[in-house]
């Protein structure tokens, strides 16, 4: 589920229409490619942090290279079953984005751990 696209588009980084259209196409039509980026953990981060941050050119997908992706997986029975993330400008307030993503992932992991 993707929310908040209109807020992202208000940012000056997204004023060039062609880049913005490429990003929107990725978010709306190419979600499998996006999932592969979100769930792939760079080797150097594999055991250091649950939150993954990819800034600009660190994003492997061309439409994401002007953005930052902050994401974290949530789990059920210690197995990753999904991911929450924030896509925004590279000048985002990282502390806030990290805290929100961690809190959401923790909440979902806890909710999935509750007995039915």
Cα→Cα distances 67→21, 27, 88, 91, Å? 14, 13, 6, 9
- Tell which residue, 76, 86, 75, 78, has the closest CA to residue 27: 86
Within its chain, how far is the Cα of 97 from the centroid?
10
pTM, full prediction? 0.77
In the structure encoding, which two tokens stand for residue 6, read together? 């209109």
Domain ranges for the chain, please list them: 5-113
Give the tens place of pLDDT for each residue, 71-104: 998 999 888 888 899 988 899 999 999 999 999 9
Separation of alpha carbons 109 and 22, rounded Å: 32
CATH architecture type of domain 5-113: 2-Layer Sandwich (3.30)
With a cut of 50, say whether residue 25 has pLDDT above it. Answer: yes
């Amino acid at each position: 589920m993707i929310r908040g696209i209109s807020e992202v588009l208000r940012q000056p980084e997204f004023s060039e229409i062609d880049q913005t259209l490429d990003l929107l196409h990725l978010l709306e039509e190419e979600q499998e490619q996006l999932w592969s980026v979100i769930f792939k953990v760079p080797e150097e981060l594999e055991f250091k942090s649950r939150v993954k941050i990819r800034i600009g050119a660190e994003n492997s997908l061309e439409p994401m290279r002007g953005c930052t992706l902050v994401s974290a997986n949530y789990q059920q029975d210690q197995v990753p079953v999904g991911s929450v993330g924030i896509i925004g400008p590279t000048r985002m307030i990282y502390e806030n984005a990290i805290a929100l993503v961690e809190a959401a992932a923790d909440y979902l992991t806890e909710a999935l751990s509750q007995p039915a």
